[in-house]
Amino acid sequence: MSHWNQLLQAALVGTSRQPVPAAEGMPGEFAVLLHALEAGEAQGHLLRAAGVLAVGRRAGFIAPGLSPSDAPVAGADERPELKEPLLQAAIADALVNGPLRLQHETLAAVATAGLRLPHGLLPTALDAGRRSIELRAAVVPALGERGLWLAARNDDWRYAAGASEQADAQTRWDEGSLEQRRAVLAEQRRTDPAGARARLAAELQQLPAKDRATLLAALAVNLGLDDEALIDAQLDDRARDVRQAAAELLQRLPGSAHVQRVAAFLSPLLTQAGALWRIDAPEAADARWKDDAIDPVRPTHDNLGERAWWLYQLVRQLPLAWWTARTGMTPAALLDWAAQGDWNDALLRGWNDAVAAAPDFDWCDAMLDRPRTQRAWTGQLLALLPRGRRERHWLAELGEDGSGLHEVVGFADQACAPGETPSPELSARLAAALRTRVEAGALVNDYVLRQVLTSAAALLHPSALHALADLPRAADETPGTANALADTARIVRARQLFHTLSSSSPSQGRP
């Protein structure tokens, strides 16, 4: 035992019980010094010896050994990093303060310009992705090799850890993150649907449920009847998400056996008496339903009754085209017909689900043309339409007097995926209408307008942003108004700055 440890033991027990140990086996001058202490004053002897050793230990400190690191060194990046300090500061600010749409736009702008985030921003970006699942798809492409390396070192950032961006497809599939694997699959579906299906089929059963659902959904690219067998086999998967994903895919294949079976369940319930069509709900659950991912058990708190629940389950699984073909009615006429019958809630909910699973633009239009009180999921419906077909609904909602401003911004916010904007024309109209209201002092009493203003700043087409810049400020603003205006100004400034990045050449980041 070293002399230090002997001293420590005596110090722990107390010198009243254990004498100060004599220095033995110590070399050279230290021993001389310690022996001299033994002959000296008794009070403080232990600490005096400890002090001498403490100083010696400190001067002769040898750093502990650590087993050699097996972590690889990060690969070199081929992509240049974003160097512009103003942009770096704006990205850092956006990543910390949001909103999500702005974060998404900045990260996408970096990747689109052929650049990557500077090293100092990587932890902030990875943290932002940890907090928001929606942001992850934008975070990963902006990371570069260094960011992927860093993500692999921290469990909180595992979502981004994967194979090198520069690796070939097979490596990214074998070693990549779920997001990378999904991208490999979707990419291969574009050129070689059968090969991609075989790739997935080989592994599907061994994957966790979340991976099964995500990767199965990637078959939506170039979906064909060749895929039916594999998808149909997933209708009795253990996980509800997987069954759901399979049913939604099959819905897009009107010739599939699944669709035929559901149609056979529903057909007897839709009957014609003279010119009038009539729908009934099933009288009892059918044991065969379970093979088609139809759930006979009504959730306890659902607002549909049991029979309505069964009807809804059937309706949601059937392609919408079946209804128009069977009845000869247009979508608008069918919606009118349903509204007059007893089972409107079940039909409407089922049709909404069906349109979300397999978008049908005519049905979307018809649903959106209903009076506001008779429709649901406006934002989601709009999201299904291509931009050109959305705008008609927005303009109708906005009204000549601009009274629907709040609603339109709200719906557009839901409808536009991050990275998407309303058209330049609509954006200009919305921005002008917002500016008019702010100039008229509406922010003082209109709490919702504050929220709408900041959403619009992040949402509208970049060409309309100038109308939201330099909004008038007043001396007697309340803190709420001041915050809304300051936030709007911050978002507008940042977006205008990011826009310079996407409109300049990819070589911008080089020194």
Residues 6+ apart with CB under 8 A from 336: none
91 binds another protein (CB under 8 A): no
Give the dihedral of Cα atoms 48, 52, 58, 61; nearest 10 deg. Answer: -130
Give the count of alpha carbons within 13 A of 409, CB side only.
25
239 binds another protein (CB under 8 A): no
373 binds another protein (CB under 8 A): no
Structure tokens at 221: 């690219």
d(CA 200, CA 193): 11
Among 23, 50, 320, 368, binds another protein (CB under 8 A): 50
Q: Considering beta carbons, is residue 233 or 486 the nearer one to another protein? A: 486
d(CA 478, CA 339): 47
Which span sits near another protein by CB under 8 A: 67-75, 194-202, 319-327, 437-445?
Answer: 67-75
Q: Enumerate residues 140-179 that contact another protein by CB under 8 A.
A: 146-147, 149-150, 153-154
74 binds another protein (CB under 8 A): yes
Q: Considering beta carbons, is residue 69 or 206 the nearer one to another protein? A: 69
379 binds another protein (CB under 8 A): no
Q: Enumerate residues 101-140 that contact another protein by CB under 8 A.
A: 119-120, 122-123
**Over the Cα atoms of the chain, what is R_g?**
33
Q: Considering beta carbons, is residue 47 or 270 the nearer one to another protein? A: 47
374 binds another protein (CB under 8 A): no
Q: Considering beta carbons, is residue 39 or 63 the nearer one to another protein? A: 63
Among 33, 48, 159, 380, binds another protein (CB under 8 A): 48
We find the least distance from the C-beta atom of residue 9 to another protein, in angstroms, to be 9
440 binds another protein (CB under 8 A): no
Distance of CA 300 to the CA centre of its chain: 30
d(CA 333, CA 374): 14
446's torsion region: left (phi>0), alpha (psi -120 to 50) or beta? beta
d(CA 190, CA 181): 15
482 binds another protein (CB under 8 A): yes
In degrees and rounded to multiples of 5, residue 272 shows phi and psi of -120, 130
d(CA 296, CA 294): 6
Number of residues in contact with another protein, rule: CB under 8 A? 58
Closest residue by Cα to residue 353 from 402, 317, 382, 329? 317
Using CB under 8 A, list all residues that contact another protein: 7-8, 11-17, 43-44, 46-55, 57-69, 71-74, 119-120, 122-123, 146-147, 149-150, 153-154, 472-477, 479, 482-483, 486
